Amino acid sequence: MVTIVVIEDDPLILHPLADALREHGYTVLTAGDGKSGLEIVQNRQPDVVILDILLPVMDGWEVCKAIRRTSVVPILMLSSLNEEVDRILGLELGADDYLTKPFSTRELIAHIKALLRRVEFSTPRTLPNVMDFERIRIDLNRRVVSKDGRELTLRYKAFELLALLAAHAGEVVSRADIFDKVWGTDWIGDTRTLEVHIRWLREQLEDVPGQPQFIQTARSAGYRFVGIAKS
Amino acid sequence: MSIRTRLLLVNIGLLAAAFIGTLLFAGSQITAGLRADYQQRLVSEIKLIAQGIAPTAAAFARDETTDADLAAAFAPYEAQIGGTLRLFFTGRSIEQYAGENTARNTMPRPEPPEIEAAVTDEPIVSQRVAKDGTLHLFTAASIILNGNRIGLVQLNVPTSTLQGLIAQRWVVLAAGMVVLTGCAVLVVVWVARRILRSLRQLQESATRFANGDLDHRITSLSGDEIGAVARAFNTMAERIQSMLVAQHTFASNTSHEFRTPLTAIQLRTDALRRSPTIAQDAAARKYLDEIDMEIARLTSMVQGLTLLARLDADRLELGRDEVDIVRFATALRQQLLPQAEEKSIRLVLVVPDKPLYIQVNLAHLTLVFRNVLDNALKYTPGGGEIRWTLVSEGDTIVHTITDTGIGIVPEHLPKVFDRFYRADRARLRDVPGSGLGLSIVYSILQAYGATIHIHSSGINQGTTVTVRWRFQRPSYEPFA
């Protein structure tokens, strides 16, 4: 049962949006301003947060930052502005995705599905539920990554990304494949999202993020996870 | 000629003229003074000499001394003054005189002026050409002994002595003037540089502002005329910046104002489409599809208008996101399929099987290709085909969108990118649109360094649109 919190101050948009999501089978909780929205997110721990930028009391940027202090829940920001600056700011502050108004319900659902998507591995049966490497341990069931025994907090998509790369440890996974598997084939967006996620991963995972040891870039090909498997 | 040159030429010219004038005037005054002094001195000397040689002259007149003795008596005086002395005797006859000191010659007629003056006891100095051809100064005085005039003594000196003195003075004067002029010129140059530097700063500030630094103002404001211009510049800059900011804000605000109701409508048509009764109602579904198209068109127009405003204000922010154009084209075609199927138009997309990345703002990209494809759909009659081919040629991606539509008359081809241009108003009155589309497309592509060409062989011969867009190797190390 997937729960979505929608924080949008214009009822003209909030109501049909919430209805549409419910008709697709999601449980929807709504808030008309930033502050109450934040409270609901903190109390109810939803699976996805849809957040408008222009909100009364506390604007979308502030809500996003506040949520990020305690949670890695995927956040999709809605906006009337399509300024380059705003989109980058959104990603930097912690949004996982950004959708410009007007959008169709179809687009919205596609983006939500992309956010919630669990990476499908080609051979799920033979894949263990835990991937154990020197220093790094990825628990697919509990969705937990630990490094040197210490648990890391990874964002939703970042975890998916790591899991995909680790499942192909040593091999280069192309960017196109990463998009298809982690975000979905019907997701249209820019590659900056991928860059930002790779950076987040490195900041969490690497000893020195500037000199990546585990997540390596393979020029003009894609990315590769380097880890020595413990048998 | 630049102001600098003019300023310097005029100033230095005037200075030079003034100084030379002063030099000449002062010089002539000094010369006159020197001459007067010299003549005065000669007169004093001759009087003293007349007194001093009186006894010797008397003795000579009585033939008690020889010519040589007389010459010896004259010698010290001559040496001191640098001239020549002569005796003239009165008494027996003025005609007799001791010329060249000792020879006895006749007084020349008429009598020279200084000789006349000597007889009247008021010596003067006169200047004339002597026997050797050069100019000399002559003066004479009476020799008085025991109250009687016994003769005259005449002195002549070459003017070269005096000229020498005068020349010396001129040299000193001229040297002084040169130094003064030099200093004055330096001061002029320095002042000119100060003024011109302020002017140049003004120029640099204006250029900076014109090149886009809208926050720039002139900070060092002097109290003079240039300072006044600087202040006026700052005021103007302030106005222009507010205007551009207002234009930009207006564009953003307008965009925002339209997007909210558009979203509200879109969500509701989506909701209606989900309703079971409507799902079975073909007419209703058709209307909903058409409403979708119109919403898309309105969205496009809103984006277009705000973009136009920003392009006009030169404030378009180019996007730097890397978008896979192949993926994008596939998605866009998918979105337009219902519209195409409406008119039974085949919408074909031919793409390479690997991703191709370009750096662009996704909305700008959508606007460009949506516009081109909308046009193709508009102007292609039912049953036709629109083919979109994407290939990479070297470092450029080439899009070719060909339709089997009504084409464009060749004379109109150069004008299709003009604002509000509609090829044939009468013919196309059924086709909605503002005519802005292609001008926006052109401006956006130009901003990204891409090109677009439209070709058509004529009416009903279809149209081909070619877009060339250079793509970059994806930047894998964004933080390198």
B270/A16 CB distance under 8 A: yes
Give pLDDT tens digits for B262-294.
999 999 999 998 889 998 898 998 888 888 888
Question: For residue B72, what are the CA distances in angstroms to A29, B127, B158?
Answer: 142, 27, 21
A105/B267 CB distance under 8 A: yes
- Per-residue pLDDT at A157 exceeds 60: yes
CA distance B311 to chain A (A): 14
Instruction: For tokens 């648990």, name the residue.
Output: A151
pLDDT (mean) for B233-247: 87
For A175, the closest chain B residue by CA position comes to B355
B255/A186 CB distance under 8 A: no
Q: Chain-centre distance of CA B148, in angstroms? A: 87
- Compare CB distances from A102 to B299, B321, B476 and report the shortest one's residue: B299
Q: Give chain B positions within 8 Å (CB) of A220.
A: 473-474, 476
pLDDT (mean) for A138-143: 82
Give the torsion through C-alpha atoms of A140, A146, A148, A150, to 10 deg: -150
The pLDDT value recorded for residue B335 is: 82
- Per-residue pLDDT at A30 exceeds 90: yes
Question: For residue B145, what are the CA distances in angstroms to B118, B139, B141, B369?
Answer: 15, 20, 13, 132
Give pLDDT tens digits for B336-356.
888 888 889 999 999 998 888
> What's the complex ipTM?
0.75
Give pLDDT tens digits for B392-402.
888 899 999 99
pLDDT-derived band at A190 (thresholds 50, 70, 90) equals low
pLDDT (mean) for A166-176: 85
- Per-residue pLDDT at B474 exceeds 60: no
CA distance A129 to chain B (A): 31
pLDDT (mean) for B162-166: 87
- pTM summary value: 0.55
- Per-residue pLDDT at A124 exceeds 60: no
B267/A20 CB distance under 8 A: yes
- Compare CB distances from B357 to A23, A191, A210 and report the shortest one's residue: A191
pLDDT (mean) for B172-181: 88
CA distance A126 to chain B (A): 30
> Mean pLDDT of all residues in chain A?
84
Phi and psi dihedrals of A217, rounded to 5?
-90, 130
> Mean pLDDT of all residues in chain B?
81
Better pLDDT: A115 or B251: A115
Q: How many residues does chain B have?
A: 480
CA distance A176 to chain B (A): 7
User: For the stretch B228-266, what's the b/e string if a residue is b when 16 or more beta carbons lie within 10 angstroms of its beta carbon?
Assistant: ebbeebbeebeeeeeebeeebeebbeebbebbbebbbbb
A13/B263 CB distance under 8 A: yes
- Percent of chain A's residues with pLDDT above 90: 25
CA distance A49 to chain B (A): 18
Give pLDDT tens digits for B411-469.
888 878 876 566 554 344 444 455 567 877 888 888 888 999 999 888 888 899 999 99
Nearest one of A52, A64, A47, A54 to A5, comparing CA atoms: A47
Q: Give chain B positions within 8 Å (CB) of A87.
A: 321
B263/A176 CB distance under 8 A: no
pLDDT (mean) for A57-82: 85
The pLDDT value recorded for residue B312 is: 65
CA distance B259 to chain A (A): 6
Better pLDDT: A4 or B174: A4
pLDDT (mean) for B40-58: 87
Nearest one of B322, B261, B270 to B291, comparing CA atoms: B270
Q: Give chain A positions within 8 Å (CB) of B363.
A: 82, 100
B256/A80 CB distance under 8 A: yes
**What's the Rg (C-alpha) of chain B?**
54
For A20, the closest chain B residue by CA position comes to B271
- Compare CB distances from A82 to B320, B327, B363 and report the shortest one's residue: B363
- Per-residue pLDDT at A122 exceeds 70: no
The pLDDT value recorded for residue A13 is: 93
Residue B141 in contact with residue B152, Cβ under 8 Å?
yes
Q: Give chain B positions within 8 Å (CB) of A190.
A: 319, 321-323, 362
A176/B324 CB distance under 8 A: yes
Q: Which of A20-29, A43-52, B298-307 has the lowest mean pLDDT?
A: B298-307
Nearest one of B406, B457, B452, B463 to B431, comparing CA atoms: B406
- Percent of chain A's residues with pLDDT above 70: 89
Strands of A15-160 (E only): list them: 27-31, 48-52, 75-79, 97-100, 130-132, 136-139, 144-147, 150-152
The sign of the CA dihedral A175, A177, A182, A185 is positive
A104/B319 CB distance under 8 A: no
For A53, the closest chain B residue by CA position comes to B256
The two three-digit tokens of residue B333, written as one number: 């075609």
Query: Mutate which of B270, B353, B357, B448 to disrupt the A interface (most A C-beta within 10 Å)?
Result: B270
Give pLDDT tens digits for B212-231.
788 888 888 888 888 888 89
Kindly state the DSSP code that residue B415 receives in the 8-state scheme: G
Residue B125 in contact with residue B137, Cβ under 8 Å?
yes
- Percent of chain B's residues with pLDDT above 90: 16
Q: Give chain A positions within 8 Å (CB) of B322.
A: 190-192
- Per-residue pLDDT at B94 exceeds 50: no
CA distance B266 to chain A (A): 6
Give pLDDT tens digits for A88-102.
677 777 888 888 888
- Per-residue pLDDT at B93 exceeds 50: no
